[in-house]
Structure 1
Amino acid sequence: MTDRPKVLATRLMPEAVETRFHSEFAAISNPDDRPLDSDAVVAGATGCRGIICSPTEKMDADTIARLPESVEILATFSVGCDHIDLNAAKARGLIVTNTPDVLTDATADTTILCLLGAARMAQDSERILRQGKWGRWAPRDMLGVHMSGKRLGIVGMGRIGQAVARRAQGFGMTVLYHNRRPLNAPDDQGATFYADAADMLPHCDFLALTCPLTPETHHWLNAERIALLPDGAVVANTARGPVLVDDALIDALKSGKVFAAGLDVFTGEPKLDPRYLDLPNVFLLPHIGSATVETRNDMGFRCLDNLAAHFSGRPLPSRVV
């Protein structure tokens, strides 16, 4: 074990990943699988050359500054890096890697689940069953809206957005997208590009947020943009919670401007705005976008691949910094 690089994993990874982790590295796991605060991360990294972190650990400038000098690389168990101060990592000379590509399909599936679950009032319908309140069938009960043949706007046409567009075609949807730049065929999936979101939103019966969280996309879906949507639109967010303004979306859900919303991510998660819990027209998921056995295994293996490449002097599969 002495010749194996010492690496801390801040969360307990899937069994297959943990097995490989312990076979290839001097591994320090988190058997209780409790989120570690900054002090615990710094203490646990003593003598470590690498850290596998996750979005539950905020690797801010202060934490990075206090890491032991031995730490060379942060491999995050995620695609997004908004929990890591990349500028602080770069200034310190830390390598940062992530796990792109491997969770595209799982997250795209979850986006369709959010759109369809919201459109068909799935959460409220299940509540009625679980509470024993389904006492009759009536033509006007539990009415949702069709996805089939409708217009879907996608904000953020990266890998996940493109995968959502492909799936939407199976519903016969017309796909529109807003992105930093237009894509060439076939990456655009035949969708129509809008450089200005204000021109796209009035045509969006459904809207899917699949963009990364950046300063430009923070609170992107606000009251002004919601007002541009057709009355009765359906909104799904599988990007990051702060991409939308909770107050604005909740007001629109209450007024009926937005028919329903499907949300897998939230500002301040695992906490969320409690008002969502009382709304019958919200389909809620606890950030399960990548939560399949196959995807979580692939994410863990990508972390290990990055670490192994770094310690052996090979090019890293997915380097961010």
Structure 2
Amino acid sequence: MPSTVFHQISVLPGVWASPGLLDRLRPLSRRQPLVLDAWPHDDSDTGRSFARTDAVLAGWKDTLDADRLGRLPDLRYIGLRATSTGRVDLDYAGRHGITVAPIEGYGDAGTVEFVTEQLLRHARHGGEARGELAGRRLGIVGYGRVGRAVGRVAQALGMDVAFHTPTARTAAAGEPRWSPLPELLASADLLTFHSPAYRHAVRPDQLRLIPDGTFVVITTLGLPMDAAALRSWQSARGGRVVLDLCAADGLPGDLRDLPGLEIHDLYAARTADSVRRAEAQVLANLAAALTPHPAGCQCCLSGAETALTTSRQKGI
């Protein structure tokens, strides 16, 4: 960035900015940061002010497609308070020299703790008799940072752990083993999904491989299966499925009353600690974008390369 401050930083609704974050944004912007509760109309006073923004902060629910980005001719920076870039048009950003900066790992601990809590609760209270997780088989669909962390905790609790990714992997001694998806689904006593955001990781015919009593935890951004497939599958079984609000985002209303479907009124990744971590990373990314770098420096990538690289690393 040629300047030591941005002209205008605009904060989209999905950031859920704390007062502390807003206070720390003010020295980084010539104008008062513009905090939006909705995408403004172009012909409103807010819309005209927004059109001059050169830096946008967005959350995982905020859509930044080519149409919206095209309304911001001065935009040079998109800071994501999210790990997923799935709702940003990275091709447009790359063509127009817009840096896209996601954050990493801020909600991993909270998600792992939520999944572990649900597994333990099911073992202790999910049947006629109190049981244990030790000796039960856990299947993990998606094996990024969170999936691996869940696997480590499960192994420490004595579980038999297998995972699936589209590409087969060779596990080191003592680590969870890779399994083909049909085998994983058919053999698990408990399942947890950590596949990429807004991607259907299982087909309807594969869902039917899951045993009737298998307990399922889903914390992905958006469902990892088609909503209609979830309706058909869950209507015909007796097992329980637990979703947090990330997984339930956009869920049709009639699915919320499905027998055995339990939606927790929280985001697994969102805790007081994760909010602090997320906002610290957002601010660090903003500061890095304003720091001059020598020609040819490889410490940061321009345009959408950073987001594209990050997205690929986070895939299953």
The interval holding the TM-score normalised by the smaller chain is: 0.7 to 0.9
SS at match of 2:78: strand
What letter is aligned with 1:159?
A: R
**Deviation of 1:44 (Å):** 4.8
Structure 2 residue aligned with 1:94, among 98, 101, 106? Answer: 98
TM-score scaled by structure 1? 0.78
What is the Cα-based RMSD across aligned positions, in Å? 3.2
SS at match of 2:285: helix
1:17 aligns with 21
Instruction: Please give the alpha-carbon distance, in whole angstroms, between the structure 2 residues aligned to 1:116 and 1:299.
Output: 28
Structure 1 residue aligned with 2:175, among 190, 208, 216? Answer: 190
Instruction: Please give the alpha-carbon distance, in whole angstroms, between the structure 2 residues aligned to 1:260 and 1:105.
Output: 24
**Deviation of 1:36 (Å):** 3.0
**Deviation of 1:79 (Å):** 0.6
Contact 2:244 2:265 in 1 (8 A): yes
1:171-320 residue pairs with structure 2 within 5 A? 171-181=157-167, 190-194=175-179, 196-213=180-197, 218-256=199-237, 259-265=239-245, 269=249, 271-286=250-265, 288-314=267-293, 315-316=299-300, 319-320=306-307
Question: Which digits, 9 at most, give the CA deviation of each residue in 1:181-220, with x for residues without a partner?
Answer: 455767x9710112x3123221111111101136xxx332
Instruction: Please give the alpha-carbon distance, in whole angstroms, between the structure 2 residues aligned to 1:43 and 1:181.
Output: 48
Q: Which runs of 5+ in 1 are unaligned?
A: 123-138
Instruction: Please give the alpha-carbon distance, in whole angstroms, between the structure 1 residues aligned to 2:162 and 2:11.
Output: 40
Question: Which digits, 9 at most, give the CA deviation of each residue in 1:238-268, with x for residues without a partner?
Answer: 1122421222223333322x51001124678
**Deviation of 1:52 (Å):** 0.6
1:130 aligns with none
Contact 2:171 2:178 in 1 (8 A): no
Instruction: Please give the alpha-carbon distance, in whole angstroms, between the structure 1 residues aligned to 2:234 and 2:300.
Output: 45
Instruction: Please give the alpha-carbon distance, in whole angstroms, between the structure 2 residues aligned to 1:61 and 1:109.
Output: 37
What letter is aligned with 1:320?
A: A
**Deviation of 1:98 (Å):** 0.6
SS at match of 2:234: helix
Percent identity (aligned) = 22
Question: Which digits, 9 at most, give the CA deviation of each residue in 1:14-39, with x for residues without a partner?
Answer: 23322322244344142xx6343685
Instruction: Please give the alpha-carbon distance, in whole angstroms, between the structure 2 residues aligned to 1:304 and 1:97.
Output: 11
Instruction: Please give the alpha-carbon distance, in whole angstroms, between the structure 1 residues aligned to 2:40 and 2:124.
Output: 40
Give the 3 Å change call, closer, same or farther, for CA 98–288 of structure 1 in structure 2: same
Give the 3 Å change call, closer, same or farther, for CA 56–35 of structure 1 in structure 2: farther
Contact 2:195 2:201 in 1 (8 A): no
Instruction: Please give the alpha-carbon distance, in whole angstroms, between the structure 1 residues aligned to 2:89 and 2:41.
Output: 13
